[in-house]
Structure 1
Amino acid sequence: MSDRDSGGGRTVVRHARVEDLGRVVELVAEHAAYEKAAPPAPGLATRLAGLLFGDRGRAGEPPAPAGTDTPRLRCLVAELPDGGLAGYATCAPELSTWDGVAYLHMDCLYLTSTARGHGLGPLLMEAVRAEARALGLTEIQWQTPAWNEGAIRFYDRLGATSKEKRRYTLSVDSA
């Protein structure tokens, strides 16, 4: 997908594989802690397996034939030369009622503290752009906490524009 020579070998950004799931869940937990959010709920690996890999994510299930098992959620990982994963980005197609078009929603982009500042963020963003192009989408949208000045500077350097909004969540069990 994309790569960068880090001096000690190539860092590669690629789609996550079933065998990456454990590390991706660890990165998600690190990301939640970094954003001062609650930790992921128990069973995250099982839920993500279905979203990312469909039947391929279920233990003992053979992979689906190519092109027949389109995942709802896409996960791109930054793989270091030693094979370790230093970060991830997740995205999914969504719809804009106001524009009447589909776009790619980037739900998460996270790099470990030691991986930041080494050019991996731009690699992940280029992979997300490539994902949007492959899906025939012309725009990517995402959000970041207002206090995350490092991320805001990074996105501004990319040429992204921001819109002020608040994000709400509401449990469907609410009265």
Structure 2
Amino acid sequence: MTNVRRARVDDLPEVVALIAEHAVYEKADPPAKGLAERLGPLLFGEPEPRLIGLVAELREGGPLVGYATCSAEVSTWDGEEYLHMDCLYLRDGHRGLGIGELLMDAVRGEARRLGLGQVQWQTPVWNDGAIRFYGRIGATSKDKRRFFLPVR
């Protein structure tokens, strides 16, 4: 039975491996060296981590097959906080098994825990499987483009 839970410090190497797979899946550059060292304090900082990490394992203590990360953000237009889901990824062969819904349920649970009324995220326009999945769980979308501006 699939288990979804908060990531633990000892999951970090496996989470970083999932992130690298996710980058390949999204046709992106691989994560820069030292990701675990940068990500650890964000996921496990005190008193409350900046980034919430959720992982899916096929059985308790089994290998990780997916992850989701999210953090509270602010909508200027709404004048309210929302939960921004930065990543949701399932390893090849584990999609279409209901694990994505379990991760999304856990993300919603984190939003409720934080008293937030909405979750927002994005996905590549070519990711038809994800778009169908998000529509099936009741999500709606808006067309926008994401920009990146280096500051270093």
Structure-1-length-normalised TM-score: 0.85
Q: Give the match for residue 28 of structure 2.
A: 37
Q: Give the match for residue 128 of structure 2.
A: 149
The equivalent position to 2:9 in structure 1, one of 1, 18, 21, is 18
TM alignment of 1:3-152, pairs within 5 A: 10-54=1-45, 69-81=47-59, 83-152=62-131
SS of residue in 2 equivalent to 1:45: helix
Q: Structure 1 residue 80: deviation in Å?
A: 1.3
SS of residue in 2 equivalent to 1:104: strand
Instruction: Provide Cα deviations, 1:107-166, integer angstroms capped at 9, x if missing partner.
Output: 000000111111100000000000000000000000000000000000000110000000
Flag structure 2 segments of 5+ consecutive residues without an equivalent. none
Flag structure 1 segments of 5+ consecutive residues without an equivalent. 1-9, 55-67
CA distance in 1 between counterparts of 2:10 and 2:94 reads: 21
Structure-2-length-normalised TM-score: 0.97
What letter corresponds to residue 97 of structure 1 in structure 2? T
SS of residue in 1 equivalent to 2:2: strand
CA RMSD across the alignment:
0.8
CA distance in 2 between counterparts of 1:118 and 1:133 reads: 25
What letter corresponds to residue 22 of structure 1 in structure 2? P
SS of residue in 2 equivalent to 1:77: strand
CA distance in 1 between counterparts of 2:93 and 2:143 reads: 30
What letter corresponds to residue 158 of structure 1 in structure 2? I
Q: Verify: 1:171 aligned to 2:150, yes or no.
A: yes
CA distance in 1 between counterparts of 2:32 and 2:41 reads: 16
Give runs of ≥4 in structure 1 deviating > 6 Å.
none
Q: Structure 1 residue 69: deviation in Å?
A: 1.6
| Percent of matched pairs sharing the same residue | 67
